Structure 1
Amino acid sequence: MSSPLVTSGTAVVADPAGAPDRPDALRRAQENALVELLDIPAVADELGDRFRAAGHTLYLVGGSVRDALLRRGGADLDFTTDARPERILGIVAGWADATWDTGIEFGTVGVRRADETLEITTFRADAYDRVGRKPLVRFGDSLEGDLVRRDFTVNAMAVEVHTAPGDRRFVDPYGGLAALAAGVLDTPASPQESFADDPLRMLRAARFVSQLGFTPAERVTSAMSAMAGELARITRERVQAEFSKLLLGAHPRRGIELLVDTGLAEYVVPEVPAMRLAIDEHMQHKDVYTHSLVVLEQAIDREEPGKPDLVLRLAALLHDVGKPPTRRKEPDGRVSFHHHEVVGAKMVRKRLRDLRYPKHVVDDVSQLVYLHLRFHGYGKGEWTDSAVRRYVADAGPLLERLHKLVRSDCTTRNRRRAAALQRSYDSLEDRIAELRKQEELDAIRPDLDGNAIMAILGIPPGPQVGRAYKHLLALRMERGPLSREDAETELRAWAADNL
């Protein structure tokens, strides 16, 4: 990967990928020139001036620097400083619109200034007991010591902030800028040490692969493979949060493949690697695992731009998890997976509950998995209107997602078969649209009901009431709603000519 670092016109200002081979002075000059072009919010420099006036330094750090270099917008701004938490509170007093100290035991003070949310953390030099993932908090005295404890080198860069022109200092002791330019994900310390401190970082690696398109360094993937079991130390809620971010990234297939290849998937969604054992019944040249990844990519292509859909992506990835336990070899040599959608829906419900997904996500994903094969009973359009209505009713508010999932589930290389399946689904969608339109018309009622017709005309129940009703319905369809007075006038005029 080649990262879209800050540019001036069409030329890249710095070429960090070559940084290790350049003299230190030249490298620092180019880095600092790059930093001067960063779009750092004015509020950051303004805050930096307050810290400098108080005798402290303040650095924009971590993902905030990474995203600024990549020209990616970020919600919050993260800072680190040599000031202790109580001192931080004193420096921002009278400047911040609000502060909160819920993280102060970890050295973090939250600040709000106008529309900006900031977090300022004292340099840390933590130790971990390597039983859980909570550090034994210890404040540090150096920026480099703080940066080395961070997860990845691309998140271990810092920029000193203040308004003095040409005086910003870029700090990158672990080669994060070069890694960013090369699209490489590596750790400041050894990956074994980093992942032992916090095993969740292994999932974060897969998440960054998905979100940013990075490629993990070989030593990172080796450590992930060797230490996958350490993920059992992490709560399911945190595992779910990282997995969801991975799925919602720009390249989720790459992230999932990393989880499967390193064995981490066994501790997150073991049903996914299990699909490598099953053979797709339509195209036996590829396994169900590969098929599911393709379906995921095709479902993403059908999303609204800029609106990633977690429910649809989960359903696309997991729609065939019921195949391995239902796999049977038929007498004619073909492989079948009878009722895998029913079994799969139950498996999905169990897995998503285990990962602590909200009930509505569990229900929606499992229902999509349950329904994803229903269309294949449609044949060449032989469904009755009632069968089409049941399809719509069973999908309910999930109907549009079901359309996308079913269309994405076609991964055959046989172009004629693929085109036939798409035409067949086009036909089903047309039937649904026609029925909806008709049923909207059917739901329209005339302005007078049967009782009112009988009372106004003084007639008993019978065919004449039905004829009058149809006349009023036709008027309603043609002219829209009528007032009670107009409806009665029209009814009496019709009766004078027809009764």
Structure 2
Amino acid sequence: MAGKEFGTIGLVHSGETYEVTTLRSEIYRDDSRKPVVTFSDSIDEDLSRRDFTVNSMALKVPTTRDATPEMIDPYGGLIDLAGQRLRTPLDAHVSFGDDPLRMLRLFRFMSTIGFIPDEGAIDAVVEMKERLGIISAERIRAELDKLLTGEHVVVALTALVESGLANEFIPELPALAVEQDPLHKHKDVLAHTIAVVGSTNPRLRLRLAALLHDIGKPETREFGAGGVSFHHHEVVGARMARKRMKQLRYPKDLTEEVSQLVFLHMRPHTYKMGWTDSAVRRYVRDAGPLLEDLNELVRCDVTTRNKRRARTISNRIDDLEERIADLREREELDRLRPPIDGNDVMEYLGLSPSREVGTIMRMLLEKRIEDGPYSQEDAYAFLDEWREARRSSVAD
């Protein structure tokens, strides 16, 4: 919180912005999302209201050139820093009560710097997790983003779910604790999901897609003679991902991109008999700028201990990427479009702007995908065929 009313102002020096703040604390009341700011003249009291002891230290700046700076560390922050421990300066119930977002920040620091939480802090999260409900979605989202892109994300996500805190803002995640294949004792969907997240590069869009790629499985799980199945979980999951990201106030563009990655992540598995040129074009067209992330998500989605199956799937993706590279050398693959546009269609057929023109353009694009590049002459010949077919249907 910045501004004079919060006791904080910004200072710009040599292009860098610094915060200059008074001694203060921020406390959230039980029924409010806005903190109450109180001011103090005690540095120890100010430091006691910080999130963790490693952030509850200060340096007293000397007033003379020959004096030595004095470390102010009333809560043992240096010891915890050396021991890589996350501990609150006051009782964890008090610290988390002051700002419930600190409960999520605990797991964020686990992910980003690899520190281990104090047992008392975890116990407090378990007991106070519902208090996260007073925190705005935007603040929760910001902490989640940092958690997801951390180096130790697997440990952090596992602890987050075990504490029960995940259920307060992304309940679809703990709901994944269902077996994928009880007969063969494969890891449950939750363990698989966390493993996939940890296997991907730490790009936010990709890790969000990894986190949400299987959230449709609990809703689509069925048991049959062949075992458990999750038919169309990617379709259901894309819808669920979009809904959850909207609730967490993610930008619309990012929401749609992640939802599309969830929707497409099973697509490569449908081409077990090999990739035709038209199949490659359709895949690239549907993935668009998400192609690199989609291919990585599909690769990382293989967490089976069956080495033969893992190798088969990996070879399938290798083949797909080789086919894409080969087709790119022979044609314009990343901007699939017909050789004529809507204006050409209207002029040639004497049509006005209408849905009919849009339908014709989609047919021309479909021809491009199925047959590959074709000339303007071929396009106009196609329009002649379309016009003749329409005349025949009207005559009938």
TM-score (norm 2): 0.80
* 2:191 alignment partner in structure 1: 290
Cα distance change of structure 1 residues 134 and 440 upon mapping to structure 2, 3 Å threshold: closer
1:283–1:412 Cα contact (<8 Å) kept? no
Q: Distance between the aligned counterparts of 1:399 and 1:126, measured in 2?
A: 45
Q: Distance between the aligned counterparts of 1:265 and 1:401, measured in 2?
A: 25
* 1:429 alignment partner in structure 2: 321
Cα-Cα RMSD: 2.0
Q: Distance between the aligned counterparts of 2:7 and 2:332, measured in 1?
A: 61
* 1:325 alignment partner in structure 2: 219
* 1:384 alignment partner in structure 2: 276
Cα distance change of structure 1 residues 278 and 344 upon mapping to structure 2, 3 Å threshold: farther
Question: Pairwise mapping of residues 311-460 of structure 1 onto structure 2 (< 5 A)?
Answer: 311-332=205-226, 334-381=227-274, 383-440=275-332
Q: Distance between the aligned counterparts of 2:27 and 2:153, measured in 1?
A: 33
Q: Distance between the aligned counterparts of 1:316 and 1:137, measured in 2?
A: 39
Q: Distance between the aligned counterparts of 2:71 and 2:48, measured in 1?
A: 15
Q: Distance between the aligned counterparts of 1:125 and 1:352, measured in 2?
A: 31
* 1:206 alignment partner in structure 2: 107
Runs of 4+ in 1 over 4 A off after TM superposition: 125-128, 280-283
1:133–1:199 Cα contact (<8 Å) kept? no
Asked if 1:114 corresponds to 2:14, the answer is yes
Q: Distance between the aligned counterparts of 1:330 and 1:367, measured in 2?
A: 29
TM-score (norm 1): 0.64
Q: Distance between the aligned counterparts of 1:380 and 1:439, measured in 2?
A: 23
* 2:353 alignment partner in structure 1: none
| Structure 1 residue 258 displacement after superposition | 2.1
| Structure 1 residue 134 displacement after superposition | 3.4
Q: Distance between the aligned counterparts of 2:247 and 2:236, measured in 1?
A: 17
Give the letter for the 2:207 counterpart. R
Q: Distance between the aligned counterparts of 2:167 and 2:8, measured in 1?
A: 35
Q: Distance between the aligned counterparts of 1:121 and 1:282, measured in 2?
A: 60
Asked if 1:245 corresponds to 2:146, the answer is yes
Q: Distance between the aligned counterparts of 2:166 and 2:188, measured in 1?
A: 17
Give the letter for the 1:122 counterpart. T
* Pick aligned residue for 1:195 from 96, 102, 105: 96
Query: Secondary structure of the equivalent of 1:112?
Result: strand
Q: Distance between the aligned counterparts of 2:25 and 2:286, measured in 1?
A: 56
Aligned residues: 333
Asked if 1:172 corresponds to 2:73, the answer is yes
| Structure 1 residue 161 displacement after superposition | 2.9
Q: Give per-residue Cα distances to partners, 1:94-123, cap 9 Å, x unaligned.
A: xxxxxxx96111111210011221101111
| Structure 1 residue 136 displacement after superposition | 2.8
* 2:52 alignment partner in structure 1: 152
Asked if 1:184 corresponds to 2:85, the answer is yes
* 1:255 alignment partner in structure 2: 156
Query: Secondary structure of the equivalent of 1:189?
Result: coil
| Structure 1 residue 378 displacement after superposition | 1.6
Q: Distance between the aligned counterparts of 1:193 and 1:146, measured in 2?
A: 14
2:26–2:98 Cα contact (<8 Å) kept? no
Unaligned runs of 5+ in 1: 1-100, 301-307, 444-499
Q: Distance between the aligned counterparts of 1:128 and 1:370, measured in 2?
A: 39
Query: Secondary structure of the equivalent of 1:277?
Result: coil
Cα distance change of structure 1 residues 102 and 340 upon mapping to structure 2, 3 Å threshold: closer
Query: Secondary structure of the equivalent of 1:137?
Result: strand
2:179–2:186 Cα contact (<8 Å) kept? no
Q: Distance between the aligned counterparts of 2:27 and 2:248, measured in 1?
A: 28
Q: Give per-residue Cα distances to partners, 1:201-257, cap 9 Å, x unaligned.
A: 101111111111111111100000011111111111111111111112221222212
Give the letter for the 1:269 counterpart. I
Q: Distance between the aligned counterparts of 2:181 and 2:196, measured in 1?
A: 13
Q: Distance between the aligned counterparts of 1:266 and 1:126, measured in 2?
A: 26
Q: Distance between the aligned counterparts of 1:126 and 1:310, measured in 2?
A: 30
Q: Distance between the aligned counterparts of 1:120 and 1:379, measured in 2?
A: 61
Q: Give per-residue Cα distances to partners, 1:104-152, cap 9 Å, x unaligned.
A: 1111121001122110111115554332253332221111111001111
Q: Distance between the aligned counterparts of 2:26 and 2:323, measured in 1?
A: 63
1:133–1:198 Cα contact (<8 Å) kept? no
Give the letter for the 1:183 counterpart. Q
Unaligned runs of 5+ in 2: 336-396
Give the letter for the 2:144 counterpart. F
